[in-house]
Amino acid sequence: MKTILVVEDSNTSRDVTTHFLQQGGFRVLEAEDGEDALNILRSRHVDLILTDIMMPNLDGWGLYHEIRADKSFNLTPFVFLSVLDEIEDQIKGLTLGVDDYITKPVTPMQLIARVNTALMRSERLSSYFFRNPVTELETEQYFRHRFVQEIDRCRAARLPLSLVVVGIGNYVSLVRGHAEWFAESASREAGDLIRSKTRSYDIVADMGQGCFAVLLPNVGEEKAQKWAEQLSSDWDLSLTWPDTEQRIPVDIGFTCDGVSPGDSNALAVLKKNLASFERKW
């Protein structure tokens, strides 16, 4: 279920928009103005921002500039929903780079269609990246491509190559006990921590669902095992659940394999290790 942040100072308009989106199968968060929206975005994951323009404290134009100044929202679709129907306002919004500009009144079907289109465009765009512009980790598709290349290179040169798969052990419980956005926030924090423990030429990919694959060129299995154990020993990650201010720990587990030199099917090893975390979840 995708999460939409609706930003609107009118309670009536916000309630109507929220109802339309919920009927369309979306989870909805609500903000009264741009400042309220920024406070929500500091602790909650959203898939799309749908905002009015004319609001107190921080209007829609200001909110857009604040959002786009933060790289963590690079791929988050931003859509204006406004009574400002002058062509100059629409051109201004689209020139800024917003994903869509919807004028009120709008029917439920029109709103749902435009929101879905913006979400699909963002998903297609993200599939072209080798590196996720939000987490700055390699994508799963790119990792598999580089994995094959590194295996061929290291085996031809008889050099060691190790694969470490790191997983958030309580990822599913974070989703079920709290929320999907909370688990995704934990995953981003975990990715930052893993990347900080690697070399610049190591390959670290976010494989989704709280799982990460780390490729360590020129590192044998014994040394890779020690690296993973040290990572686990140094792991001290927790997040605050905003409703209760409770600190929720983020657990870690890992597998470690030397995939070069050797005769084993490295892709099968990767698949097996990823599946082992899925079974645990």
21-55 tens-digit pLDDT: 999 999 999 999 999 999 988 878 899 999 999 99
Is there a single domain that holds both residue 158 and residue 229?
yes
How far apart are alpha carbons 168 and 172 in whole angstroms?
Answer: 9
Quick check: 204 pLDDT over 90?
A: yes
Same domain, 70 and 165: no
48, 92: one domain? yes
Per-residue pLDDT band for 134 (boundaries 50, 70, 90) equals low
Is residue 207 pLDDT above 70, yes or no?
Answer: yes
- For residue 175, tell me if it sits in a domain: yes
**Domain check: are 268 and 150 in the same one?**
yes
Assigned domain for 166 exists? yes
Q: DSSP labels for 224-274?
A: HHHHHHHHHHH---EEEETTTTEEEE---EEEEEEEESSSS-HHHHHHHHH
- Percent above pLDDT 90 for the chain: 50
Residue 263 has pLDDT above 80, yes or no: no
CATH number at residue 231: 3.30.70.270
Q: State percent of the chain over pLDDT 70.
A: 96
Does 153 share its domain with 257?
Answer: yes
Least confident of 13-22, 67-76, 106-115: 67-76
Distance, C-alpha 18 to centroid of its chain: 23
Q: What is the CATH number of the domain that holds 67?
A: 3.40.50.2300
77 within a domain of the structure (yes/no): yes
pLDDT at 127 over 80: no
Residue 218 in any domain: the answer is yes
Q: Are residues 85 and 176 in the same domain?
A: no
Give the span between the Cα atoms of 249 and 236, in whole angstroms.
8
Q: What does the pLDDT read at residue 17?
A: 95
Do 81 and 26 sit in the same domain of this protein?
Answer: yes
Domain assignment present for residue 135? The answer is: no
97 & 158 share domain = no
Computed over every residue of the chain, the mean pLDDT equals 88
The residue ranking higher by pLDDT, 97 or 112, is: 112
More confident residue, 72 or 226: 226
Number of domains in the chain: 2
Residue 133 lies in a domain: no
The boundaries of the domain holding residue 266 are: 140-280
Report field, pTM of the whole predicted structure over 0.85: no
Higher pLDDT, 107 or 176: 107
Q: Flag whether pLDDT at 281 surpasses 50.
A: no
Q: Based on the domain organization, do 146 and 276 belong to the same domain?
A: yes
Residue 270 has pLDDT above 90, yes or no: no
Domain boundary among 89, 104, 126: 126
**For residue 203, is it within any domain?**
yes
Q: 121 and 175 in one domain? A: no
- Can you tell me the mean pLDDT for 210-233? 93
Q: Which residue has better confidence, 247 or 71?
A: 247
In a domain, 134, yes or no: no
